[in-house]
């Protein structure tokens, strides 16, 4: 694990690390914000994992969301991985919604994607194991994300009872098996068996989730993708039917951008901090 960026930020350090991922078969970068509390002797802090959306890498969240201020206030480490495998040997596709920058946090089973596109295992298992071995963290974890990353955060939490203390999302793709972004990506990465797709669909998973971890979602009312790609009402209906706690906050006027995330990320950090420090 090699540190390639190191910048002072709100009394702590905004770093970027590079490592060789065995799961993905390529070199990956990920961002880490260490708040000032991490400098204390023997300090071990909780971690919030942030999963970004389509076209993003580890830089978007750390440069646009303004989350470091709140992480420093609450004493929470932020870890933000890339959104897909990278490198000359990694398959890609034309367009922004498949291939590099669009890993969709699944374990691909179809060719040519299966060798490298295993982002689910990377963000749920490999990256946390590395972080917990090399950085001043303990085993208290929470997870959040935006759009495709919101989908990834919800799926990771719903599929792994007890692994995360809390979960939240901004503008998540809640039902990828029912919208164009998800149908395109899942058809490519997972093949034509639509039943197999349900393992990565929060609306399907919430119906039988073994842990009733409360879901917190903020959704912009002015989001250009609201009715075609996001459709939060589908998750809301499934959660109500299953008795799964869900707070869906519609924010009038806000779009799909990081202006939206920056406006409410402080509330999400406070939500996670309460769960992580309980």
> What total number of domains does the chain contain?
1
Q: Is 227 a catalytic residue?
A: no
pLDDT above 70 covers what percent of the chain?
100
267: tokens are 């509330």
- Catalytic residue of the set 52, 142, 147, 166: 147
Whether 91 and 118 have beta carbons less than 8 Å apart is answered as: no
pLDDT digits (tens, 9 = 90+) for 106-137: 999 999 999 999 999 999 999 999 999 999 99
Query: How confident is the model at residue 278, as a pLDDT?
Result: 81
Query: How confident is the model at residue 136, as a pLDDT?
Result: 96
DSSP state of 13: E
Query: How confident is the model at residue 69, as a pLDDT?
Result: 98
- Catalytic residue of the set 15, 223, 271, 272: 223
Q: Is 151 a catalytic residue?
A: no
CA distances from 81 to 48, 65, 119, 138, 238 (A): 11, 15, 10, 18, 29
The rounded Cα 246 to chain-centroid distance in angstroms is: 18
C-alpha 227/C-alpha 1 separation (Å) is 42
Query: How confident is the model at residue 41, as a pLDDT?
Result: 84
C-alpha 172/C-alpha 161 separation (Å) is 20
Whether 217 and 251 have beta carbons less than 8 Å apart is answered as: no
Scanning the structure block, which residue is given the tokens 């470091």? 68
Domain boundaries, position 64:
2-276
DSSP for 102-148? B-TT-B--STTTTTT-BHHHIIIIIHHHHHHHHSSEEEEEEEEEBTH
Looking only at Cα atoms, what is the longest distance across the chain?
Answer: 53
Report the CATH number that the domain containing residue 152 is assigned in CATH. 3.40.50.1820
Whether 278 and 228 have beta carbons less than 8 Å apart is answered as: no
Q: Is 256 a catalytic residue?
A: yes
Mean pLDDT, rounded, for 63-71: 98
- Catalytic residue of the set 74, 151, 244, 256: 256
pLDDT digits (tens, 9 = 90+) for 160-211: 999 999 999 999 999 999 999 999 999 999 999 999 999 999 999 999 999 9
């Amino acid at each position: 694990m090699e540190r390639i960026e190191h910048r002072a930020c709100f009394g702590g350090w905004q770093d970027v690390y590079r490592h060789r991922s065995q799961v993905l078969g390529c070199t990956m970068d990920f961002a880490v914000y260490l708040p000032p509390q991490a400098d204390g002797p023997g300090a071990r802090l909780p971690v919030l994992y942030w999963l970004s959306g389509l076209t993003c890498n580890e830089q978007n969240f750390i440069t646009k969301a303004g989350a470091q201020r709140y992480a420093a206030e609450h004493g929470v480490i932020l870890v933000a991985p890339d959104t897909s495998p990278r490198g000359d040997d990694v398959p890609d596709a034309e367009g922004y919604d498949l291939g590099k920058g669009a890993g969709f946090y699944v374990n691909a089973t179809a060719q040519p994607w299966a060798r490298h596109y295993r982002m689910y295992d990377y963000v749920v298992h490999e990256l946390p194991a590395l972080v917990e071995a090399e950085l001043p963290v303990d085993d208290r974890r929470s997870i959040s994300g935006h759009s495709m990353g919101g989908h990834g955060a919800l799926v990771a939490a719903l599929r792994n009872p007890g692994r995360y203390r809390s979960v939240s999302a901004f503008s998540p793709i809640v039902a990828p098996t029912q919208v164009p972004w998800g149908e395109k990506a899942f058809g490519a990465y997972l093949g034509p068996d639509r039943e197999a797709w349900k393992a990565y669909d929060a609306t399907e998973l919430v119906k039988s989730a073994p842990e009733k971890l409360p879901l917190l979602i903020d959704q912009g009312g002015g989001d250009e993708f609201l009715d075609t790609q996001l459709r939060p009402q589908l998750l809301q209906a499934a959660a109500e039917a299953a008795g799964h706690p869900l707070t869906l906050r519609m924010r009038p006027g806000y779009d799909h951008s990081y202006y939206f995330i920056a406006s409410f990320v402080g509330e999400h950090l406070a939500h996670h901090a309460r769960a992580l420090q309980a």
